[in-house]
Amino acid sequence: MSDINGIIFDYGGTIDSRGDHWSEVIYRAYETEGADIDRDNFRKAYVYAERALEGSGIITPNDDFLMSMRKKVSLQFRYLGIDAPYLSDAIAMRCYECSRECVTDARTALAYLAQSYPLGIVSNFYGNLRSVLRDFGILHLFRTVTDSTEAGIRKPDPEIFLKGIADMEGSDMLAAGLAAPKYMVVGDSVKNDILPADSIGCVTVLLPGTPWDADKPQPRLPDRTITIRSLNELPDILLHL
């Protein structure tokens, strides 16, 4: 066992999609279900839906991931001017099954790590992250869940990671101005996960996939960041830290 005090995971894009940004996952579902929408228009619809959802209460704390996806795709279809509820529901269901498959794949590693380390989640989400984790059967593996909507702080603000660590440590580190103890942060985004976590001294692990802005230069990765291809690599990495 390493001297890491605990491990904080991003959720969306990390545990539930193996590093791919969710815009990519949803667009693949559009293609698979035969929705003939070009990528540029889809991306505009994606942004429209995300902005409509932010702080709106459209997604409620009790919504599981399938209900969240139904609401999200419905908003995208509204922007695109598509009236096809069966197609919208098929896309939402395909995204849900993709997420369930990814979470199931990650569960073994998470359960193994939870035997030796306290685990937490820090994620930009909609206020229903606990319901999503409960539906997928992994809520019990995490000591704390920091959902940005509930916390009132969003990544890439480092304070959301300090809050997550403070909750796990049972102390108000933000008020006391204390340095973060040795934590590992695992995420798929250099901008939202790796850079802010590195700035407060965490060990950082990147699970790279297809990002939102894949056509643009990506932020420089800190030299000490570890890159993995699967969460299943984490137990072995921790043995050698």
pLDDT tens for the chain, 241 residues: list them. 678 999 999 999 999 999 999 999 999 999 999 999 999 999 999 999 999 998 889 999 999 999 999 999 999 999 999 999 999 999 999 999 999 999 999 999 999 999 999 999 999 999 999 999 999 999 999 999 999 999 999 999 999 999 999 999 886 655 545 455 699 999 999 999 999 999 999 999 999 998 888 777 878 999 999 999 999 999 999 998 8
Of residues 193, 210, 225, the one with CA closest to residue 18: 210
Q: What angle do CA 209, 6, 239 make, to 5 degrees?
A: 75
| Torsion, CA 30, CA 34, CA 36, CA 38, rounded to 10 | 40
The verdict on 73 and 159 lying in the same domain is: no
> Phi and psi for 146 in degrees, rounded to 5?
-105, 105
Q: Mark whether 184 and 123 lie in a shared domain.
A: yes
For residues 136 and 216, membership in a common domain is answered with yes
Same domain, 124 and 229: yes
Q: How high is the pLDDT of residue 148?
A: 97
In the listed set 42, 75, 100, which residue is the last one of a domain according to the structure? 100
151 contacts: CB under 8 Å, gap ≥ 6: 160, 163
Name the DSSP letter for residue 31: H
Say whether both 212 and 135 belong to one domain.
Answer: yes
Q: Are residues 132 and 180 in the same domain?
A: yes
| 226 plus 149 within the same structural domain | yes
50 vs 39: CA distance, rounded Å? 16
Residue tagged 């994606």 (tokens): 46
**CATH number, domain with residue 151:** 3.40.50.1000
Task: Please check whether residue 43 lies inside any domain of the structure.
Answer: yes
Domain with 66, as residue range(s), is 22-100
Q: Would residue 1 count as lying in a domain?
A: no
Domain count, the chain: 2
